[in-house]
Amino acid sequence: MYQFKRFTFDPSRELLSDQVHTNTLRPKVAKLLQYFLQHPEQLLTREQILTELWQHGEYRDTALTQSIQELRKILGDDAQQPEFIKTVPQKGYIWIAPVQTVAIPSAKWMIKNKWISITIAIALSFSVIGSAIWYIESPPWVKTDHVNVLSLPHIYIAPVKNLTGQGQLDWWGFALQQQLKQAASQYFLIVDEVSVVGLPFADVMQGAADVGFSAKLTQQQQRYVLHYQINRRGQSPQKGQLVSEDLQAPIDEVVNQLVVQLSERTEAVSTENISDNAQSRQSYLSGLHALSYQGVGSAIPYFKAALIYDTNNQAARLELANALWKTGLWRESLEHFEAMENVDTRSYLAARYHLYFGQYWLNMGKYDRVTPLLKRSMEIARALNHQRLLARGYQLQADLAWLQLNWQAHSKAMHSAKVLIGAGSLSHSESQRAFYLANPPQAGVEQSAELDMSENLAVVQKAIRYYQQQQQYAPLMLSYFALGQNYLAPLEARERALNQALQMADSQNNQYIKNNILLYMAFYYIQLHDGDAARHALAQLEPDDKPRTSLQVKALFLQAMANMDTVLQDTSPSEEALEQALTQFKQLISREDIDKVTQASAQLMQAWLLIKQQEDERAKPLLVAAGSTFEQLKLTDSLSYVRYTQMYIQVSQGHYQHAIAMLGAAPTQKLEALYGSYALAHLGQYKAAMKQLHTAKQQFASQWQKQDDLFERVVASAKSETLLLTLLPPPYSVYCQSEWLLE
């Protein structure tokens, strides 16, 4: 553990604490901080850091810049007057704060110590380093969580090979693999298949897994034979066979036998009893196979058939309910959820029911209904010691926290989910959070601090390769969508991935994902200043049978934003076009059902339109209102957009001292630096203006454009008569604070 000034850093748990707050750092940022602390007062070149921490990756240089900025932000460090990280131009960085290394207190001591900070409530399994740590702001029902993950061995359950020559039996092997994963989760940590894609089984056993299971289904003399092999590291393989006349026996009986052997336990193993009716069981399991391989549209008929054969097949009813709303049938979905009986028992079914129903209400925007369902789902998953269900609960908790703008709770929940099942399974949900406005829970106004988009890009690309090999088109669709949202990928690759995802969502009848893709595509095209393409995407949105306010508000906001973009890109827009765009934002702001973030964003963009009209005084109160909301919600990035817009008004009106006063200690956005330098130059402080531009060019290297170089040359000439406002990019020139350049 390290101590420096007011901070304490525990690298094993990625925790950075001061006297008031504790933050869980993104893994790459934690490693970067640890590397600095291991080499205090030493000049570390960028290449040296990249070699140590980013050995691979096309976007490693950008990732380092992002991580340095993120670390400075968390530490409250000033690049111009550094307290911790000093930049040595053209060379690298030096950690300049004194560092002390201290021993980590033992678990026994921690229990007895009464002086642990009262601002933190720690629910920690002492046998685990890196288990879930929660703050007082977290719901009380998560504080007793004890996730003993590191004490469990890792198991890799390979896809079952169907060698019968009968493609219609693929469902059986898939069902066996999924049911086996579920039952084995009580005794093992499941190795994510995407993380080992392309590796031979033997290599997986040498590195990622302690136990391995592989199997193949054959047909011999009109009987079906499952040949399986259990590998344990350091032991000889254990082989076996299970024979079935027709594959009609309940699959949980097969799973039960296999888990007993895998876990080396003699007591009964908990598995899920689906139905006593063989046809109902087969229809249900075929539906699960279709759900992953063909999508919800193909799965629904199987689940309905399962209920025809056995109306009491609760597992089929639950999967049907969870599939229907994704096709836009929210009312029918709710009927099936409410028809479920005896779902409060301690079972896999009960855990999934509360989880699925919570996801339903989350996407309906009824957040108050999510919390009790989520609480119950996690209680059951914890009682069953089911790591994957518990991880899915954390993912839902993270989505809820994101929508409620509780960034700290979101970060904690995502971290806990990663601890349980690894980052590979979360690549889609993380990529979805990478863009700027209008589409929660898939995204939010702020750039999320814990994301490493270069790492995410590698994970998503690996997932795409795996799901292509397996021909699992539902998760492949989500992976393409994730790639399309990762701003480090080339634009052509992103657009191609978005179109592939859209085509697959349409063919799978997944209306929910299709609408989300269309919303994102609209925003994507707005960033490329292609309003026509954005409006075309929005025109393809399909209405649900039960209208959702969130979908309507997102669509209206993006429609207004697309029209705004068209107006702002026009050198001489018509008054009619300007008024139409202004009216759309006014109508949106006045809606009673609009959320605070979208309302504030609409106020900011309405102000941009007024600035375009040179009506600065009308823009000012809108900026004050938007800034107040962003400040109240602690949306620091969005608040900076308001601030540099206000600075632009000040410099355009000749109030240069006011603009400099608004700048504060150091710019956090490129436009702040440019506007501040413009004001300094007009006051005759050319040396200070050039110094600020030089620093900004390094700090915002990935965003620096040719126009900025021209402005720098004009300032260097020290001729006030050439300092024209047209040299500056207007505040509405940037809609997204991502790291890609739009030329």
- Cα–Cα distance, 212 to 229 (Å, whole number): 8
pLDDT tens-digit readout, 146-201: 444 546 788 999 999 988 877 778 888 888 898 899 888 888 888 888 777 778 88
Please tell me the total number of residues recorded for the chain in this structure.
Answer: 743
Q: Is 320 exposed, middle or buried (0-12, 13-18, 19+ CB in 10 A)?
A: buried
User: Roughly how many angstroms between the first and final C-alpha of the chain, as a whole number?
Assistant: 45
For the record, the structure tokens of 21 come out as 């707050």
Strand-pairing partners, residue 407, are none
222: left (phi over 0), alpha (psi -120 to 50) or beta: left
Tokens of 87: 């930049």
Task: Record the tokens describing residue 133, joined without a space.
Answer: 């740590």
Interior angle at CA 591, CA 614 and CA 447, nearest 5: 70
Please check whether residue 65 lies inside any domain of the structure. Answer: yes
Q: What is the pLDDT of residue 57?
A: 54
| 464: in domain | no
Asked whether residue 585 falls in the same domain as residue 671, the answer is yes
pLDDT for position 134? 24
71 and 171 both lie in a single domain: no
> Do residues 80 and 165 share a domain?
no
Question: Looking at residue 5, what is its pLDDT?
Answer: 87
CB 377 within 8 A of CB 393: yes
Parts of the chain with a pLDDT under 50: 104-148, 150, 433-450, 736-743
Question: Which tokens belong to 603?
Answer: 């106020």
Q: Is the dihedral of CA 318, 322, 327, 333 positive or negative?
A: positive
As for how many domains the chain has, the answer is 3
Residues 673 and 560 in one domain: yes
One domain for residues 160 and 254: yes
pLDDT one-digit tens code per residue, 674-714? 999 999 999 999 999 999 999 998 888 878 888 899 999 99
Which pLDDT score is estimated for 119? 21
Structural domain boundaries enclosing 164: 154-263
The amino acid present at 625, given as its one-letter code, is A
Torsion angle in degrees (nearest 10) through CA of 260, 266, 267, 268 = 40
Which residues fall within 8 angstroms of residue 344, CB to CB, at 6 or more apart? 350, 376
pLDDT of residue 147: 42
- CA dist 195 and 13 (Å) reads 22
- Within-domain flag for 42: yes
Helices 170-184 and 251-263, axial angle in degrees (round to 10): 50
Q: Supply the CATH number for residue 77's domain.
A: 1.10.10.10
CA-to-CA distance for 551 and 515, rounded, in angstroms?
8
601 and 686 fall within a common domain: yes
Q: Identify the CA nearest to 438 among candidates 533, 562, 536, 328.
A: 562
Is 711 a member of any domain?
Answer: yes
Query: Are residues 82 and 160 located together in one domain of the fold?
Result: no
* Among 340, 322, 313, CA closest to 396: 322
Q: Note whether 86 and 162 are same-domain residues.
A: no
Please give the backbone phi and psi of residue 232, each rounded to the nearest 5 degrees, phi first: -120, 135
Supply the pLDDT for residue 449: 45
Q: Which two tokens stand for residue 645?
A: 């817009």
Q: Are residues 560 and 683 in the same domain?
A: yes
**Nearest by Cα to 311 from 299, 320, 298:** 320
> What are the tokens at 564?
């705004």
Rounded to two decimals, what is the model's pTM? 0.70
Of 445, 490, 448, which is closest to residue 735 (Cα–Cα)? 445
Residues 718 and 603 placed together within one structural domain of the fold: yes
CA-to-CA dists, residue 701 to 435, 437, 518, 666, 697, angstroms: 20, 24, 32, 16, 5
State which H helix or E strand residue 659 sits in: helix 656-663
